[in-house]
Amino acid sequence: MAGGRIRAKIRRSSLYTFACYHSHPSEAEGPHDIEGPGYSRMVYCNQPHMHEQKPLRYCSNYISTTKYNVLTFLPKAIFEQFRRVANLYFLLAAVLSITPISPFSAMSMIAPLAFVVGLSMAKEALEDWRRFIQDMNVNLRRATVHKKDGTFGQKPWMKIQVGNVVKVEKDQFFPADLLLLSSSYEDGICYVETMNLDGETNLKVKRSLEATLSLDDDSTFKEFNATIKCEDPNPNLYTFVGNLEYNRKVYPLDPSQILLRDSKLRNTAYVYGVVIFTGHDSKVMQNATKSPSKRSRVEKQMDKIIYILFTFLVFISFISSVGFIVKTKYDLPTWWYLQVPDDRGYFDPRDPLMSGFYHLVTALILYGYLIPISLYVSIEVVKVLQALFINRDLHMYDEETGTPAQARTSNLNEELGQVDTILSDKTGTLTCNQMNFLKCSIGGIAYGTSSSDVELAAVKQMALDEDRQSKAGTPPSWGKGRQGSGESEIELETVITSKDEDNHKPALKGFNFEDSRLMNGNWFKEPSADVILLFFRILSLCHTAIPEQDEVTGVFTYEAESPDEGSFLVAAREFGFEFCRRTQSSIFVRERYPSFHEPIEREFKVLNLLDFTSTRKRMSIIVRDENGQILLLCKGADSIIFDRLSSYGRTYQESTTKHLKDYGEVGLRTLALAYKKLDECEYSSWNEDFMKAKTSIGGERDLMLERLSDMIERDLILVGATAVEDKLQKGVPQCIDKLAQAGLKIWVLTGDKMETAINIGFACSLLRQGMKQICMTSNVDASAQNSKQTVKENILMQISDGSEIIKLEKDPHAAFALIIDGKTLTYALEDDVKLKFLNLAVNCASVICCRVSPKQKALVTRLVKQGTGKATLAIGDGANDVGMIQEADIGVGISGCEGMQAVMASDFAIAQFRFLERLLVVHGHWCYKRIAQMICYFFYKNIAFGLTIFYFEAFAGFSGQSVYVDWYMLLFNVVLTSLPVISLGVFEQDVDSEVCLQFPALYQQGPKNLFFDWYRIFGWMANGLYTSLIIFFLNVIIFYDQAFRPGGQTADMIAVGTVMFTCVIWAVNCQIALTMSHFTWIQHFLVWGSVVSWYLFLLIYGELRLSLNVNAFRILLEVLAPAPIYWCATLLVTVACNLPYLAHISFQRLFNPLDHHVIQEIKYYKRDIKDRYMWRRERSKARQTTKIGFTARVDAKIRQLRGRLQKKYSSHGKDVVVTQQT
């Protein structure tokens, strides 16, 4: 585009009191003194070539979130592999296998290790390559950059340099940290959405320096030159100090002129800016942390098992060596036929200690089968296949955006099943930033028949409870009440829904109100029509929104600073008061009044606007209507508004208060509306003082404005109240409810203000009416002497008081919520305070941290992770969540949203928060149990197999001789037992996915580590030990001196070894079949196919020339198969090996069943279909006791309703008694 767009004519800054209308005192006071360390950055504007050489050569705008690059991949990936204990052992064994003392060939040791390590490294490379592709999608975004001579062109983000002048248009992201030079508005205002940085959806107002306002067109940059000296790169999002030297003058810079990377331009046609920080120097990337290397708890515990087995291996190797030394010294000289000592000194009676040392090395390699080398590679294969199932799960596919779930790393699948605490972002994660106008109270009358989700659920639950009571027998006290009143408890608390359900209109965004008394002009007939008129005018006038008309439909939409404002304007439009235009000094509203069918456009002169702040908790606008009457219209928190009512303005206060309480109980966000008429003299006097304060320079300006605003906002007259339903993302309350029932704790960490966070907490049922809130704020004057110590002492006192309140609470249903702001959190996270803060937090049902920076999110996550020692999961959607996502044990990114930074840093990506329920409760439960059972089984089968080698070696005089042929041992882990265990890890299901969701308490098997605790691990090891003893000694007893062949010959070593190996194959494969709860044809094929493959191998191997070397020619056809004792021994040993496990699981299911055992039995006998009442009863029992979530809120509502009913029935009973007495 050759020139700039036509600049907007509204000076947007005139709409604001506190945020924008500054006369830049900093400019008048002179530039900042920024000499010294930390302020060394020099930026030559419009001269990027100056930054191509040191010392002004800064980092490029290229970003990377990968763990590896081309140079670091090999060393880092090898380090990752060999920090696994088992791999380190097999590396040592592979080195020793090169020596002559190895019992196996070098290739048989090196090849499996290379395969295992290579496969794992290939998986790491593939996953990191995916991260690289996502990084490049960001790096290759296009931006409009000044080239030369006033011409602009497209450039990828990664090519942008410090000093470049960039033009950003509406709804585009800023490619780097920029200094705002000018915008499409005359006064240099622009609106920025920082949701990716701090989680806030409210638009931030930025303003350029007046000196650069003239740079408003492409051509003006032809000769533009300036110099910026500013602070060095740092992670502080809310501070910036620097000076701009332009046209031989120096101007101070502050955060209001800085546009941060990954924030978005909104409500502004375009801006021009100069690049200050690029790439990893930008503030958002400074808040990021390096991609950590995460390992699951199961894998860490597996290392401990490897240590135990390695210690055991060294122990039995040492025993074997001692035995060998004894044999060498005392028995070997008498065995003349062995011709000792040998040439190499391995068997030398004259130096038994040296021979014993050689034997120790041999034994360490020989018994290596105790430590399964294929365990890691099998787990890698299983995890990749599990990740594939997660990616392909249609129940986690978002049809709206076409986004599937994505396991970006498969290393942490089982960790999904052990999560204890979820730390969630708010904006874009829990909410979709949309409010629905649902109910209102006007003139003491409640309007709105639509029901909130909480109301509907409470009635539904009570109906179910009533049904259960009718089946189980009605308690006498309830029966009397019903007989006396003739009403059911449900009828007493009927929730009114739309009468015209059949003709229900499609939902309108922001408006879900239903009540014919106010719609279509029917409000004219209401007794308080004048109050209703004022209510609608407050909705349509008291705001800072900008209307935008759709050229096709003619319908107005509104760009509002908050979703509440947007819903109010949509509601006003539907009621017949359509805000349609705004000028410098007026607001125009098309009012369907006095005739609903003939709208009239009315002009209201805007005299002043007192905007909303978190301190004021209210907003007011002063307007002059067409009759010349001056009105102050105000909306705000009910507690604030009620304090400002006049004595004659409280007519509707009592009834409105009751309505507000009712709205709050069902999870609605409320505001009170009031007005005040001003006479000309009163207003003129006040406005004169107000304008003086508004244009003043100095630190007292804001205090003066606040005092004057408070002065005029007194003696108000109450009009009514609004109730909006916070539009959470689809399924969020249900998801949180299910996660709470699964026993998970949920913390919300948000950059939003406390009021908004509390409202969201109510909306998603983390907070509820009646829950006791512990609000921690640092309200001590920070400018006072010794302020830090004073603030810390105050916070410690708040923590102590909160802990004491919880300790003294006697009500079992009482629930506490901890709410803390970012400033307080700064002190709460200090070393001497953080553990006390954590102890308070973990005793609360829910925790909400407000106004937190990205760094604080990461620090809170670290505190919870390290302080509790339990698994944490962080979930977010923006760049401000990257720190906590990387810090948590598991990081989940929300994809399909505007920013992809969270996804790029995450371990798992889902399209919406509601999919977290299935990711954890279904896939997490399955993956944990599968991996845990798989690892236990792996150690069992290797102990069962490996110890038979030790027994035989002792039986054969500690000679270092293996009873098995080398080929048997090579195929044991690779072919004959690997596929069944992989099928266990991929397909095993104790219960199906629907049952997992219906019985969320099953999830607690993971956090409690029921399937991978030391009791179960040692139980499986003991089972392996028992199996090895049975296989070896039972076979030795059977074959020791038993005639084996038709000629009366006894069995030789190869025959006995093959029979033992057959028993091992049958025993371990039958064991895995008994372990499985869920069979498909795949499991049957792999388990029994492994047994068949053993016989096929024997058949083929017996025909090869290789078998001649070990006397195994036709070992199956001619030696084993014709001998009945071979088949009998196989059957006997297999049954004996598996009988104890069968007895154990039978006893457990009969006398001490786990939750899933009960469910399996119910499903097996189809009682879930035949007896629905029993099924519902079991479901209600199978949830963790929780004080948060939708169910907890419904339970509280039911307790409240039942309390009311009991009072009513008891009073009814008293009336009957009195009547009888009279």
Amino acid identity, position 1116: L
Distance set, CA 1090 to CA 376, 709, 761 (Å): 20, 83, 54
Task: Compute φ and ψ for 776, nearest 5 degrees.
Answer: -110, 120
Radius of gyration of the CA atoms of the chain, in A: 38
Calculate ∠ Cα 258-261-262, nearest 5°.
130
| Dist CA 640 CA 162 (whole Å) | 48
Contact by Cβ (8 Å): 748, 426 = yes
142 beta partners: 156
Task: Choose the catalytic residue: 425, 453, 737, 752.
Answer: 425
| Dist CA 1026 CA 955 (whole Å) | 18
Which residue is it, tokens 């290759």? 140
Q: How many CB atoms lie within 10 A of CB 293?
A: 12
Contact by Cβ (8 Å): 735, 911 = no
Verify cis geometry, omega within 30 degrees of 0, for the bond prior to 812. Answer: no
| Dist CA 630 CA 680 (whole Å) | 7
Enter the tokens of residue 256.
């209001």
Contact by Cβ (8 Å): 126, 384 = no
Cα 705 from chain centroid?
42
CA-wise closest residue to 622 among 604, 599, 597: 604
| 394 secondary structure, DSSP code | G
Cα 667 from chain centroid?
23
Enter the tokens of residue 248.
């031989």
| Dist CA 633 CA 648 (whole Å) | 17
Question: Strand runs (DSSP E) across 977-1039, as ranges?
Answer: none
Contact by Cβ (8 Å): 907, 419 = no
Q: Is 425 a catalytic residue?
A: yes
CA-wise closest residue to 440 among 659, 278, 294: 659
190 beta partners: 206
| Dist CA 383 CA 410 (whole Å) | 5
Query: 549 in helix, strand or coil?
Result: strand
Contact by Cβ (8 Å): 167, 281 = no
| Dist CA 690 CA 688 (whole Å) | 5
1138: number of CA atoms within 13 Å, CB side?
18
| Dist CA 737 CA 781 (whole Å) | 40
| Dist CA 272 CA 265 (whole Å) | 11
| Dist CA 934 CA 1019 (whole Å) | 14
Verify cis geometry, omega within 30 degrees of 0, for the bond prior to 100. Answer: no
Contact by Cβ (8 Å): 921, 738 = yes
Query: 1195 in helix, strand or coil?
Result: helix
Contact by Cβ (8 Å): 919, 406 = no
Task: Compute φ and ψ for 527, nearest 5 degrees.
Answer: -65, -30
| Dist CA 1112 CA 1058 (whole Å) | 9
3-state percent helix, strand, coil for the chain, nearest multiple of 5: 50, 15, 35
| Dist CA 18 CA 24 (whole Å) | 13
| Dist CA 1136 CA 1036 (whole Å) | 15
| Dist CA 197 CA 263 (whole Å) | 7
By annotation, the residues acting in catalysis are 425
